[in-house]
């Protein structure tokens, strides 16, 4: 995103929580990628906790795993939108420590 209108659009959409500093006119979307990965990871953790202890498809909470697709989609979109109003400082910490640690565990598993 090297145009000023794109930077202004992101700033306006996020109500000023996201400020992009583009050295030499070059911006990389790493914070946006980390925001989307954060929302997707959080969503899977929520779904995992909701289905903890479900043994078979006849269990009452199995419908969370097997159905409710509209609600799951809307919930994930809501988390993705909310991730864009979290300040940059959180995602700088998240990308350096939490995401790197999670990626290392993922590679080992």
Q: Give the tens place of pLDDT for each residue, 44-73.
A: 999 889 888 888 888 888 888 888 889 989
96 pLDDT band, cuts 50/70/90, is confident
C-alpha span between 2 and 26 (Å, rounded): 6
C-alpha span between 61 and 54 (Å, rounded): 7
Which are the contacts of 51, defined by CB distance < 8 A and separation ≥ 6?
A: 61, 62, 64, 65
E strands, 4-88, are none
C-alpha span between 101 and 106 (Å, rounded): 9
Evaluate if pTM is beyond 0.85.
no
Predicted pLDDT of residue 5 = 67
Taking Cα atoms as reference points, which of 43, 34, 36, 14 lies closest to residue 92? 34
């Amino acid at each position: 995103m090297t145009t000023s209108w794109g930077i202004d659009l992101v700033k306006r959409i996020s109500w000023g929580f996201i400020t992009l500093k583009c050295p030499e006119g070059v911006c990389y979307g790493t914070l946006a990628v980390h925001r989307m990965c954060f929302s997707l990871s959080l969503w899977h953790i929520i779904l995992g906790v909701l289905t903890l202890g479900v043994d078979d498809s006849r269990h009452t909470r199995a419908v969370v795993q097997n159905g409710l697709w509209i609600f799951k989609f809307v919930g994930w979109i809501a988390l993705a939108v909310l991730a864009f109003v979290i300040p940059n400082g959180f995602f700088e910490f998240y990308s350096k420590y939490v995401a790197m640690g999670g990626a290392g565990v993922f590679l080992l598993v």
